[in-house]
Structures are given as structure tokens and as C-alpha cells.
Amino acid sequence: MQYPTFTKEHKSLMSKHLSEDIFNKLNTLNTSSFFTLEQAINSGIKNPDSGIGVYAGDEESYKVFEDLFDPIIEEYHGFAKDDKHQSNLDANDLIAPNPDVKGKYIISTRIRVGRNLKNIPLGPAISDEQRLEVEKLVSKELSNFENDLSGTYYPLDGMSEKDKNTLIEDHFLFKTGDRFLESAGLNKDWPKGRGIYHNDEKTFLVWINEEDQLRIISMQNGGNIKEVFQRLCKAIQKLEENMSFSFNEHLGYITSCPTNLGTAMRASVHIKLPNLAQNMKEFEKITNKYYLQIRGIHGEHSQSEDGIFDISNKRRLGVTEVQCVQDMYDGVVALIKKEQEF
Ligand code: ADP
Ligand code: CIR
């Protein structure tokens, strides 16, 4: 392919870091699952409003295309080429008493991690057969889960529009037709091989074959962040008893989007902050200090509604899982304090 034409609308880290020299060096390379630079950057080219604009097809992509990925990883996570990732999934190390016992601000808490099976390409490069194999393996493993983690797997293929839309609207299920994932090749053969597992209370959920092969999710109403983290840690440990996930010492857990590397964790609250909503400068001072990201309440790239925001940790690599949740928790405590001062 030719060097892409970036317009002033292209705002991604990919368009920032893909110089013509780097492009020429990487343009003819491919990984062993035949993933190319053209596939990696297509989403950022087709969607000029991308924040990141690049996806990996496999663990090897991060090495073969390192001249592009490394500066993006460094800028997003503040993580240098020689740094080592560290993991800590011991919920006892988290200090997080409920910061909103009266339930005035925090509507719900959700913590998710992404995982991908070792030696199988990531979503952008997986074959249709491999995707079905992943669905079979993971749903079979989950069928052995017991007690509060016991649930049912619901394939997307065959799910009624009504059930699907209710699950999406209630924040449990991924949306259909995301344009960023579409141009990254992640929606191929949709809806086959995709689905959601959840317990009756919908406090433990697993998405299969969306942006990552697994998204393991713990969520519940209110601000008991520790309880949500404890449930997630238990579920991850249980899954790791019988499954091997793609992981290395430098990049931690391997995910298709470089923002998710490391812990692959996003810990969030939906929180009502009507006063701060009128004062975004003060709001962002706090979110920047605590390494937080602000999203709308219908997920990434959505707008906030009625002064309710999705607040989550931004760093995921080079910090432990406990630190990711602690970043979010400490920031939420500071936001509530500021909200009360108005
Ligand atoms: P991801 O968490 O995988 O980065 P999204 O930002 O698209 O993806 O969010 C996925 C879904 O999770 C959306 O429906 C979103 O509203 C919901 N969600 C995120 N955080 C919370 C929360 N704290 N409480 C309830 N739902 C949430
Ligand atoms: C984008 O570049 O905007 C999309 N590909 C999504 C990037 C992931 N977003 C994030 O900040 N975690």
C-alpha cells in the first residue's frame, strides 16, 4: 500500500507516530499469521476520530511492528521499551471502603479484564474456524463454574433482537457493528462465535470473541468496589486453572488494542456528578491527576447523559491490577469530595 493520506481530522496516536520512514520499513512485513501493517492501521485510517487507531493481529505484531507500537504504548501507558510489567490479583491489597455508602453518587461499579488464548491469533487475524473453537473451549470451561459464578452461555447467533437490545441497553452486552472494530477486521463472520455468559444476577459475565477472545467482567450496583474486584479475581484464578492465556513479561496480557496490554483491566464506576459536569476544567484536573479516563455511559465513544459519567483507570500496563483499581478508587473519592464543595 501507499503511505496513507492523513488529514487534520486524523487525531490518533497511530497517525502521529507513523512517519513515512517507519511506514516504508514496516509496509512489506508480516507476522506468521500473515498479519500486515495495512490491516493493523486500517481502523485508524478509516476512522479519523480514533484516539489510538491501531490493532495487533497476534502477539508477534507487537515485535514485528514495534517501531510503530512502542511509541504508542509509551505515550498511552507511560511505559518504556525496557520496562517490565507486574501483576497483582490479590484483592486483600486493595484499600477501598465504599466511598458512597448512602448511594448518592455511584450508580454502579464494573471491572473487566481482556484475555486471549495462547498460540491462537488475536481477533483481527483469527480464522472463522479458530473463532468457533475458542467459543467452544471457553463456554465449556465456564459450564463448570459453581455457586455465585455459575451461569449460562447465550450465543449471539439466534438471540432475539429484543433480548439483545435489552442486554445492551442495561450495559451487560457489547454493541453490534462498532465501526472501529469493523475496520480492524474484528467483526468478521458476525454474529457466529460471539456470545455472552452470565450468572442469574448478572454480576459475573464473560464476553466471548468481541474485541478480545474473552472479556471477564464483574459488576454490581453501588460503590462496593472491593467486592466487585474480589469476585473478578476469583473468576480469573478459576479460568487460569485450565486455560493458558497469551502473556509475556514485558507486555503482560496480550490484547488486540495496545491500550489494553498489561493488566487488560478497566475498572469503572457510573457516577452522578452534575456540579462537576458544569465545570469540566476542575473535573479534568482531578481525572488527569489520578490517571483516569472519562467516557459516556453507553461505553466508549458515547456521550455522557444527565451528568452521569463512566470514570475508569487509563493506565493498564506497568501497573498491577490492584493499582489500576486503586487509581480509579482514589480518583473517585477526590471527585466526590470536589462535587460536594460546589
Ligand atoms: P470496555 O469496558 O470493554 O472498554 P465499553 O466502554 O464499550 O467497553 O463498555 C462496555 C459496556 O459496559 C457499556 O455498555 C458500558 O455502559 C458498560 N459499563 C462500563 N462501566 C460500567 C459501570 N461502572 N456500570 C455499569 N455499566 C458499565
Ligand atoms: C480508537 O482508536 O479510538 C479505538 N480503536 C479504540 C481505542 C481504545 N480506547 C481506549 O482509550 N482504551
Q: Which of 194, 266, 315, 316 is catalytic?
A: 266
**Residues near ligand 1 with C-beta < 6 Å?**
108-110, 112, 171, 215, 219, 266, 268-270, 295, 297-300, 310
CA-CA distance, 114 to 254, in Å (whole number)?
8
Q: Residues spanned by CATH 3.30.590.10 within the chain?
A: 91-341
Q: Which residues of 160-173 are buried (b: 16+ CB within 10 A; e: fewer)?
A: eeeebeebeeebbb
CATH of 91-341, one of 3.20.20.10, 3.30.590.10, 3.30.200.20, 2.40.50.140: 3.30.590.10
pTM of the model: 0.97
CA-nearest residue for atom 12, ligand 2, is 259
Q: What is the pLDDT of residue 19?
A: 98
- pLDDT tens digits, one per residue of 195-228: 999 999 999 999 999 999 999 999 999 999 999 9
| 13-77 placed in CATH 1.10.135.10 | yes
Q: Is 300 a catalytic residue?
A: yes
Is the predicted pLDDT of residue 299 greater than 80, yes or no? no
Mutate to test the pocket of ligand 2, among 43, 174, 179, 300 (most ligand atoms within 8 A of CB): 300
CA dihedral 113, 119, 122, 127 (to 10 degrees): -140
Mean predicted lDDT score pLDDT of the chain:
96
126 pLDDT tier (thresholds 50, 70, 90)? very high
Q: Is 259 a catalytic residue?
A: yes
Q: Is 324 a catalytic residue?
A: no
CA atoms within 13 A on the CB side of 323: 16
Count of other CB atoms within 10 angstroms of residue 49: 13
Q: Which of 31, 203, 259, 320 is catalytic?
A: 259
Q: Residues spanned by CATH 1.10.135.10 within the chain?
A: 13-77
Characterise 303 by phi-psi region: left (phi > 0), alpha (psi -120 to 50), beta (else).
beta
Q: Is the CB of 218 under 6 A from ligand 2?
A: no
